[in-house]
Each structure stands twice: as C-alpha cells, then as structure tokens.
C-alpha cells in the first residue's frame, strides 16, 4: 500500500531540500509519493532535474504562499 509522506525542508540550508528528498526516497517503497516542502527557490528546478535523471516520477509542483510543494512518486 503506497503512502504520501511530507518532508518539511522549509528554511533549511544544509543539507538542504534535495538532499532531504534523496534521504527519504531511499527509505520509501516503490509507488510511495513524497511531498517536499521548501522555501528555497532553486528547489523548483533542482528536484525535477534529479527526478528525471534518476527515473522517478514528478506528480506535481506548486507554490503556495512562500512554500513550494513538490510531489514525487518513487518509480524504482
């Protein structure tokens, strides 16, 4: 059974949002959706670049207020 896990990486600089996503992606099962919250502007482009290169699936990306909500499904 897949699940959605929210990763709050708002207002963090080190290790940073993408490193947080990679950490939790390793713990996730194939099919799980992870929702990354980030206030870092670069995250909106950094995450899709990594997701596309590694072969996971972008589910959604939207900015609500100052916070990016980026959802990714683990594909392999």
Name the site residues for other proteins (rule: CB under 8 A). Answer: 8-9, 11-20, 22-23, 26-27, 42, 46, 49-50, 53-54
Nearer to other proteins by C-beta: 12 or 71?
A: 12
Q: Report the nearest approach of other proteins to the CB of residue 17 (Å).
A: 8
Q: Report the nearest approach of other proteins to the CB of residue 57 (Å).
A: 15
Token pair in block for residue 72: 């990714």
Nearer to other proteins by C-beta: 16 or 59?
A: 16
**Which three-class secondary structure state does DSSP give residue 20?**
helix
Catalytic residue at 10? no
Helix (H) or strand (E) holding 54: helix 43-54
- The 10 Å Cβ neighbour count of residue 73 is 17
Q: Which are the contacts of 42, defined by CB distance < 8 A and separation ≥ 6? A: none
Cite the active site residues: 14
């Amino acid at each position: 059974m897949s699940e959605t896990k929210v990763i709050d990486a708002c207002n963090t600089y080190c290790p940073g949002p993408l490193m947080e996503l990679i950490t939790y992606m390793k713990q996730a099962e194939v099919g799980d959706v992870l929702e990354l919250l980030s206030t870092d502007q670069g995250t909106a482009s950094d995450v899709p670049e990594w997701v596309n290169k590694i072969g996971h699936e972008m589910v959604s990306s939207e900015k609500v207020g100052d916070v990016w909500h980026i959802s990714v499904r683990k594909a392999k």
